[in-house]
Amino acid sequence: MRVALVGFGAVGRGFADAVLGGAVDVDVVLVADSSSVAVDNDGLDLESVKERKEKQGVVGEGEDVQGALEDADYDVLVEASPTTLGDAQPAFGYMVTAMENGAHVVTSNKGPVAMRYGELMEAADEAGVEVRMEGTVGGAIPTINTVRESLAGDEVTSARGILNGTCNFILTRMLEEGLTYEHVLGEAQDMGIAEADPTFDVEGIDTALKCVILSNVLFEGERTLDDVDVTGITEVTPDSLRLARESGHVVKLVGEVSEESLSVAPRLVPEGHALDVSGTLNVVSFEADLAGEVTVTGHGAGSSETASALVSDVAAIARKE
Amino acid sequence: MRVALVGFGAVGRGFADAVLGGAVDVDVVLVADSSSVAVDNDGLDLESVKERKEKQGVVGEGEDVQGALEDADYDVLVEASPTTLGDAQPAFGYMVTAMENGAHVVTSNKGPVAMRYGELMEAADEAGVEVRMEGTVGGAIPTINTVRESLAGDEVTSARGILNGTCNFILTRMLEEGLTYEHVLGEAQDMGIAEADPTFDVEGIDTALKCVILSNVLFEGERTLDDVDVTGITEVTPDSLRLARESGHVVKLVGEVSEESLSVAPRLVPEGHALDVSGTLNVVSFEADLAGEVTVTGHGAGSSETASALVSDVAAIARKE
C-alpha cells in the first residue's frame, strides 16, 4: 500500500519511525510539512527525508503540497498536521483532494473531524473511501475503534473521559504538592508538557474538540465546538482540591458526551474510580447497552503513541484491500 | 449472514437476545444445546426456540448436533457451549466441522482455543476462514481485538490482568469486611457469583486458560494449561490482606503473560493502580512498543456482556463479507 504523509512534526515523524521500524508494510510516496513536499512514486527514503528536515528545515524541493496531493499516486493519506479550528484548513482541503484522488484518509488532526465532520463524511461516501480518526481522541488508547468495532453490536449511550494530559498533569501535581495553578503550569511548561501558550489545553478547548469527535462518531451527528459547554482548569485552587480530597474525591477535567449534551468542566471524581488516573494519562469510559461500562486507559499523546493509532488505522484499511 | 448457534445456556441465550434486539443483522438457521438441535434454513424464530427451551428443556426435535452442523447452510458458527478441558470436545469437533463446511467460527468457549489452538488455526487456514474469540477473555472487554486490531502495528510484549470476577469479588469482600475466604465464598455462592463447585475459578484454572489464550494470540504459540504456573486464592487470609493494605497494597489474583512465562497467583498491587479494580470487574494491561501501556476495564462475565463480544466478532466478519 502507498501512503502520502502530510505533517512532519512529532506525530508525522513518529509515523515515519514506526514505518521504518516495520510496524506496517507500506511505501511512503509523498511527505509534506507546512511549506515543502517530497514525492517519489517508487517510495521515498524516509531516513533521508528526516535528515533533510533536521538539517535544512524542509522535507523536499517541492513547495506545492496541494498540487502534489492531486498528482501523486497513493492509497491512503495520513494527515498528521497540527489542529486548526474555524474552517480547519489547510487539512480539510488536503483530505478532500485525497478522497477525490480515490485515497482513504487516516488522521490525528482534530480540526476537520471536529469542525466539518458532515462535509467530510459526505465526501468519503461520494468517493467510496474511509476516513479513520483513532489518533484524534486519546492518542494510543483505542477509543473510536472501540466504539465502532469492539462495541459494534452495542448501543453506546454516553462517554466520559479525561482527554487532555496537560490538564491532568497540572491537577495531579497541584493536589500532590499543594501548589498553585500558576506554579505548576510554569513547571509543566519547563518540562515540555504544557505549551508556551497553554490556552488550547487549559481552557478545555482540546478536550471539547475530542468530545465533539466522540459525539459525531457515537451519534452520527454534526456537532461542532459551539455545541460544547466548556470550563477549563484555570480557576481551580489548591484549596478546592484539598477540600475534595477530604471527602474522598479528586478534581479532574472531565469531558461528558451524550446524545443530549456535551460538556467539559472540572468535576469531582471518587478516589479510586476508573476516571481517577494520574499524571498525563488519559481515560475514557463508555456506557453500552450490552457490555455495560467499558473503560480504556493509556497515553493520550506523544509521538510514538499517536503513531500507534495512525498505524492501526492504516493496518485496518490494508486488511480490507 | 446466516448463523449456527451452538450452546443455549446464559451466553447462547444472551446472543439470541442480542440478535432479537437488533444488535446484528443475521439469520440464525441452527440452534443447538448439549442434546437437542433445531434447524431451519429460512431462519429460526428465536422467541419460539427460547420458549421451547424453557418449557420443554430442549431447543428442537433433532438430537444429532454434529450431523446438523454437517448439513445446514450457514456462514458463521457461534460456539457458546460451556468450556471443557482435555480434548475440548465436543466443541472442538463442532468447530472443525463448521470450518470444513466453509463457515467462520466465533466463540466464547475457552476449551478449544486454550487446549488445541494450533490444530484450530491449521484447520482455519486450510478452510480459508477466520476463528474469532473475543468472548473467551474478559467478557465484554475488548482484549483479543485490542491486540489484533487496535494495536496492529505494535509489538505487544506482555499482558497482566485480573480475569476472573469470582476471585476478585471474593478478595474485594474479604478485604472490605475482614471476613474469611470460606465465609465470603459461601456468600458468593448464595449470590450466584460463585458456582456450587468453585474449583475452576478459585484454584485459578479459569484465569490460567485466559492467559493461555492471550499468549497464543500475542505470541502465535501453542501453549496449553500445562505451561502455566498456577496458584489460586484458597490460601489467602484476611490477615495477609490487612498487612498488604497497611503498606498501601491490595491483593489480587493476577495473570501474567509474556513470551518467557505464564503465571497466575495472588500478587500485591499498589492501591489505585490500574489493576486495582473491585468486585467482579476484570482488567487487562498490555505493554506495547509504540503505545506504551494500554489498559481495558469492564465486565468480565454475564449473559449480555459476553454476547456483546460474540456480536462484535460476528459484525467484524460481516464487514468483510
Per-residue model confidence as pLDDT tens digits over B38-94: 999 999 999 999 999 999 999 999 999 999 999 999 999 999 999 999 999 999 999
Per-residue model confidence as pLDDT tens digits over B208-267: 999 999 999 999 888 999 999 999 999 999 999 999 999 999 999 999 999 999 999 999
* Residue A133 and residue A11 in one domain: yes
Q: How far is CA A154 from CA B9, B176, B297, in A?
A: 21, 33, 16
Q: Find out whether B70 and B50 touch, Cβ atoms under 8 Å.
A: no
What's the structural domain count of chain B? 2
> How far from each other are the two terminal CA atoms of chain B, in whole angstroms?
9
| Average pLDDT over chain A, rounded to an integer | 96
Closest-CA distance of chain B to residue A22, Å: 8
Domain that holds residue A294: 145-299
* Residue B16 and residue B123 in one domain: yes
Q: A263: burial class by Cβ within 10 Å (0-12, 13-18, 19+)?
A: buried
* Residue B164 and residue B108 in one domain: no
Rg of the Cα trace of chain B?
20
Q: Which amino acid type is present at position A53?
A: K
Per-residue model confidence as pLDDT tens digits over A140-160: 999 999 999 999 999 999 999
* Residue B70 and residue B100 in one domain: yes
User: Given this model, what pLDDT does residue B222 score?
Assistant: 85
Q: Do B149 and A145 touch (CB under 8 A)?
A: yes
pLDDT band at A321 (very low <50, low <70, confident <90, very high): confident
Per-residue model confidence as pLDDT tens digits over A269-317: 999 889 999 999 999 999 999 999 999 999 998 999 999 999 999 999 9
Q: What span, in angstroms and rounded, lies between the C-alpha atoms of B141 and B162? A: 12
* Residue A120 and residue A247 in one domain: no
Q: Which of A17, A137, A252, A290 to mutate to test the interface with B (most CBs of B within 10 A)?
A: A290
- Torsion sign (Cα): B61, B63, B66, B70: negative
* Residue A272 and residue A179 in one domain: yes
Continuous segment of H or E residues that includes residue A302: none
* Residue B132 and residue B207 in one domain: no
- Torsion sign (Cα): A134, A138, A140, A142: negative
Q: What span, in angstroms and rounded, lies between the C-alpha atoms of B275 and A297? A: 11
Q: What span, in angstroms and rounded, lies between the C-alpha atoms of A315 and A186? A: 39
User: Given this model, what pLDDT does residue A270 score?
Assistant: 94
Residues of chain A with C-beta less than 8 angstroms from the C-beta of B290: 14, 18, 23, 140, 304-305, 307-308, 311
Per-residue model confidence as pLDDT tens digits over B259-306: 999 999 999 999 988 999 999 999 999 999 999 999 999 999 899 999
Between strands A156-162 and A262-270, the pairing is unpaired
Q: B197: burial class by Cβ within 10 Å (0-12, 13-18, 19+)?
A: exposed
Find the CB nearest A149 among B292, B299, B312: B312
ω into residue A90 within 30 of 0, thus cis?
yes
Q: What span, in angstroms and rounded, lies between the C-alpha atoms of B46 and A234? A: 56
* Residue B156 and residue B77 in one domain: no
pLDDT band at A222 (very low <50, low <70, confident <90, very high): confident
One-character DSSP codes across B186-242: HHHHHTTSS-SS-HHHHTSHHHHHHHHHHHHHHH-----GGGEEE--STT--HHHHH
* Residue B36 and residue B175 in one domain: no
pLDDT band at B25 (very low <50, low <70, confident <90, very high): very high
Find the CB nearest B312 among A14, A151, A308: A151
pLDDT band at A220 (very low <50, low <70, confident <90, very high): confident
Could you give the 3-state DSSP secondary structure of residue B266?
Answer: strand
Per-residue model confidence as pLDDT tens digits over A182-198: 999 999 999 999 999 99
Average pLDDT, integer, range A65-73: 96
Contacts (Cβ under 8 Å, ≥6 apart) of A198? A166, A185, A188, A189
Q: Do B153 and A314 touch (CB under 8 A)?
A: yes
At residue A273, φ and ψ (nearest 5 deg) are: -65, 155
Find the CB nearest A297 among B271, B274, B290: B274
User: Given this model, what pLDDT does residue A94 score?
Assistant: 98
Q: Do B299 and A291 touch (CB under 8 A)?
A: yes
Residue with cell 451524550: A258
* Residue B153 and residue B293 in one domain: yes
Q: A180: burial class by Cβ within 10 Å (0-12, 13-18, 19+)?
A: middle
Q: What span, in angstroms and rounded, lies between the C-alpha atoms of A267 and A248? A: 13
Helix/strand/coil (H/E/C) assignment for every residue in A177-233: HCCCHHHHHHHHHHCCCCCCCCHHHHCCHHHHHHHHHHHHHHHCCCCCHHHEEECCC
pLDDT band at A41 (very low <50, low <70, confident <90, very high): very high
User: Given this model, what pLDDT does residue A272 score?
Assistant: 85
At residue B21, φ and ψ (nearest 5 deg) are: -80, 0
User: Given this model, what pLDDT does residue A287 score?
Assistant: 97
Closest-CA distance of chain B to residue A62, Å: 30
Q: What is the CATH number of the domain that holds B266?
A: 3.30.360.10
The residue of chain A nearest to residue B270, with distances taken between CA atoms, is A272
Residue with cell 418449557: B55
| Average pLDDT over chain B, rounded to an integer | 96
* Residue A204 and residue A249 in one domain: yes
Q: In what order do the strands lie in the sheet with A262-270?
A: A228-230, A262-270, A249-258, A156-162, A281-288, A292-299, B292-299, B281-288, B156-162, B249-258, B262-270, B228-230
Q: What is the CATH number of the domain that holds B83?
A: 3.40.50.720
The residue of chain A nearest to residue B319, with distances taken between CA atoms, is A320
Bridge partners of A281, per DSSP, are A299
* Residue A282 and residue A201 in one domain: yes
CA angle B159, B163, B169 (to 5 degrees): 140
Shortest CA distance to B171 belongs to which of B108, B84, B262, B265? B265
User: Given this model, what pLDDT does residue A303 score?
Assistant: 93
User: Given this model, what pLDDT does residue A320 score?
Assistant: 82
Residue with cell 489484533: B148
Find the CB nearest B154 among A152, A154, A308: A308
The complex's ipTM? Answer: 0.93
Could you give the 3-state DSSP secondary structure of residue A88?
Answer: coil
Annotated catalytic, A210?
Answer: yes
Does the pTM surpass 0.80? The reply is: yes
